[in-house]
């Protein structure tokens, strides 16, 4: 259970498996919000400088276990939470996040850690105002990934789970487990489900419609040139 | 170990049935003499013919460089620090402690997660959250709590390595100078340890006595552990 948002800002997150198209959609949403003269900040999963060198070392030497992988990503999130997301939410900014705690609830549980254990790790975080879940059939997501990427990486493919010696087979099995977790989270966390097989523009229309609903009659932090009044 | 037990779910993806080694933990605040006693215990156990492995906080090869760098900067928040230490602990547990226990070693741990919880809670962490975090941790065979009051700690630190920024809780500015901050901070940490004695079954050892007296105590307790006969002394 995540705490309700009691801060001045708004939090909008996107979730979905690799190849679901969520990053494209959050990028479009982010740019649209900027064009609407909203104070908006974008935060990406696993992007904190604090743990970057440790993550690189762990991946390179294949040192991770499901528990250390989970804890290190939670450290990354906590660092972004304490230094960026929380202060900006308090200031009245719209924070948009490409992946959020739900990614950990999906991937880490697919790797084998306990559902309640990983939920406790992130219990300091808030329930987003909107959590979009981009749902796509596994085959489509895998095709998209295989087209855009030369080679699947070891942890990305879930090779650490020992499900298969074949990277693509392992990736498929791993992603299916994540889908199963996401599906259970739809009601648990009130996901707004978007059909990720629709054309990009049609998806974005839906995304904006939902976002508009929570942003109407809401001011948030003004952007500086509005304060200056153009003078 | 008598039985393999965890504080929570443990490590659900790995099956650990039998750990023939023994896990002995020395806990206590900064300056109680933990590292001295780890050395003495190691020497004694090796003389008895046991394989000994030792470990301590932030010694994971994966997290140590990153954690040191993070502590040297000024952006490390409370939550990120708690979780980074937990990562270090988990890495050592799974990659050092458990393999050594499987191989039948005595593992001497200079601190365990209790210290980390004590420090986290003093820094404002939710005690319940911090405990659940370590649900993956193995229950040791024995946990010694080397206890000394503030005057002893001050004397040892002054005549030892000197006051340190983190050991004095200067990150949370318990006071505006190292000495007062050290006193306030360590007092709060001692309170946390005292509260954990029953909860985690610590064996409290009076660490204000001489090294020899403390060591005799530790040795007697360890000798009483199943599988270790009293050494042949004439």
Is residue B213 situated within a structural domain?
yes
Cα–Cα distance, A167 to A142 (Å, whole number): 12
Chain B residues contacting A via beta carbons under 8 Å:
8-9, 11-14, 61-63, 65-67, 69-70, 75-80, 82-84, 86-87, 90-91, 94-95, 129, 132-133, 135-136
Q: Does A82 sit within 8 Å of B78, measured CB to CB?
A: yes
User: Which residues fall within 8 angstroms of residue A129, CB to CB, at 6 or more apart?
Assistant: A5, A10, A11, A12, A214
Is residue B114 situated within a structural domain?
yes
Give me the tens of pLDDT residue by residue for chain B, a chain 234 residues long: 878 999 999 999 998 889 999 999 999 988 899 999 999 999 999 999 999 999 998 889 999 999 988 888 878 899 999 999 999 999 999 999 999 999 999 999 999 999 999 999 999 999 999 999 999 999 999 999 999 999 999 998 999 889 988 889 988 888 889 999 999 999 999 999 999 999 999 999 999 999 999 999 999 999 998 665 555 544
Question: What is the pLDDT at residue A228?
Answer: 59
Is residue B1 situated within a structural domain?
no
Cα–Cα distance, B83 to B218 (Å, whole number): 31
- pLDDT tens digits, one per residue of A46-93: 999 999 999 999 999 999 999 999 999 999 999 999 999 999 999 999
Is residue B174 situated within a structural domain?
yes
Q: What is the ipTM of this complex?
A: 0.91
Query: Which residues is A192 bridged to in the sheet?
Result: A132
What domains lie within chain A, and their CATH numbers?
Answer: 10-218 (3.40.50.300)
CA distances from A8 to A88, A132, A141 (A): 9, 21, 36
Is residue B234 situated within a structural domain?
no
Q: Which residue of A has its CA nearest to B65?
A: A54
Q: Of the candidates B82, B90, B129, which has its C-beta nearest A68's C-beta?
A: B90
B76 contacts on A by Cβ (under 8 Å): 50, 79
CA distances from A62 to A58, B92, B102 (A): 6, 15, 21
Backbone angles phi, psi at A211, to 5 degrees: -65, -40
Q: Does B77 sit within 8 Å of A117, measured CB to CB?
A: no
Is residue B55 situated within a structural domain?
yes
Q: Are A178 and A163 in contact (CB under 8 A)?
A: no
| Chain centroid offset of residue B70 CA | 21
Question: What is the pLDDT at residue A230?
Answer: 47
- Structural domain that includes position B90: 22-223
User: Which residues fall within 8 angstroms of residue B61, CB to CB, at 6 or more apart?
Assistant: A63
Q: Does B129 sit within 8 Å of A68, measured CB to CB?
A: no
Q: Of the candidates A54, A81, A116, which has its C-beta nearest B79's C-beta?
A: A81
Q: Which ranges of chain A have pLDDT less than 70?
A: 226-231
CA distances from B117 to A219, B83, B86, B196 (A): 41, 11, 10, 10
The enclosing domain of B47 has a CATH number of 3.40.50.300
Cα–Cα distance, B103 to B228 (Å, whole number): 17
User: Which residues fall within 8 angstroms of residue A191, CB to CB, at 6 or more apart?
Assistant: A15, A102, A131, A132, A133, A182, A185
Interface test with B, best of A49, A57, A79 (most B CBs within 10 A): A79
Cα–Cα distance, A59 to B40 (Å, whole number): 37
Q: At B145, is the secondary structure helix, strand, or coil?
A: strand
Cα–Cα distance, B15 to B141 (Å, whole number): 19
User: What's chain B's Rg over C-alpha atoms?
Assistant: 18
Q: Are A173 and A165 in contact (CB under 8 A)?
A: no
Query: Which residues is B205 bridged to in the sheet?
Result: B146
The number of distinct structural domains making up chain B is 1
Is residue B107 situated within a structural domain?
yes
Tokens of A139: 């085959």
Cα–Cα distance, B172 to B119 (Å, whole number): 11
Interface test with A, best of B69, B83, B124 (most A CBs within 10 A): B83
Is residue B229 situated within a structural domain?
no
A117 contacts on B by Cβ (under 8 Å): 8-9, 132, 135-136
As a three-state string, the secondary structure of B31-70 is: CCCHHHHHHHHHHHHHHCCCCEEEEECCCCCCCHHHHHHH
Q: Of the candidates A63, A81, A112, which has its C-beta nearest B62's C-beta?
A: A63
């Amino acid at each position: 259970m995540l705490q309700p948002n009691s801060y001045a800002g708004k939090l909008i997150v996107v979730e979905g498996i690799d190849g679901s198209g969520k990053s494209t959609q959050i990028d479009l949403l982010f740019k649209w919000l900027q064009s609407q003269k909203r104070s908006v900040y974008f935060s990406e999963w696993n992007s904190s400088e604090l743990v970057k060198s440790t993550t690189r070392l762990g991946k390179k030497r294949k040192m991770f276990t499901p528990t250390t992988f989970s804890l290190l990503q939670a450290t990354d999130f906590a660092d972004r939470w304490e230094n960026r997301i929380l202060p900006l939410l308090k200031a009245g900014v719209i924070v948009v996040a490409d992946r959020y705690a739900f990614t950990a609830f999906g991937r880490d549980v697919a790797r084998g850690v306990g559902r309640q254990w990983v939920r406790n790790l992130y219990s300091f975080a808030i329930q987003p105002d909107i959590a979009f879940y981009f749902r796509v059939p596994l085959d489509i997501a895998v095709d998209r990934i295989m087209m855009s990427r030369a080679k699947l990486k070891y942890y990305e493919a879930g090779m650490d789970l020992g499900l298969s010696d074949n990277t693509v087979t392992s990736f498929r099995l791993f992603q299916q487990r994540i889908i199963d977790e996401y599906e259970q989270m739809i009601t648990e966390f009130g996901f707004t489900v978007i059909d990720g097989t629709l054309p990009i523009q049609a998806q974005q229309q839906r995304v904006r419609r939902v976002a508009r609903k929570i942003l109407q009659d809401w001011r948030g932090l003004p952007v500086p040139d509005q304060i200056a009044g153009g003078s | 170990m008598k039985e393999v037990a965890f504080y929570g779910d443990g490590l659900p993806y790995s099956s650990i049935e039998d750990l023939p080694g023994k896990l002995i933990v020395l806990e206590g605040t900064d300056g109680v003499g933990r590292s001295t006693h780890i050395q003495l215990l190691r020497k004694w156990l090796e003389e008895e013919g046991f394989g000994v492995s030792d470990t301590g906080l932030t010694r994971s090869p994966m997290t140590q460089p990153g954690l040191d760098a993070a502590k040297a900067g000024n952006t490390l928040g409370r939550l990120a620090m708690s979780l980074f230490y937990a990562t270090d602990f988990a890495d050592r547990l799974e990659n050092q402690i458990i393999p050594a226990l499987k191989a039948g070693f005595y593992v001497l741990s200079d601190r365990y997660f209790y210290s980390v919880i004590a420090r986290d809670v003093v820094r404002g962490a939710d005690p319940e959250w911090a405990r659940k975090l370590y649900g993956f941790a193995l229950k040791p065979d024995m946990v010694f709590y080397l206890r000394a009051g503030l005057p002893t700690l001050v004397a040892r630190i002054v005549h030892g390595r000197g006051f340190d920024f983190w050991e004095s809780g200067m990150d949370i500015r318990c006071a505006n100078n190292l000495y007062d901050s050290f006193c306030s901070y360590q007092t709060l940490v001692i309170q946390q340890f005292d509260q954990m004695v029953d909860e985690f079954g610590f064996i409290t050892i009076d660490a204000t006595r001489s090294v020899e007296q403390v060591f005799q105590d530790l040795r007697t307790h360890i000798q009483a552990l199943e599988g270790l006969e009293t050494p042949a002394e004439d």
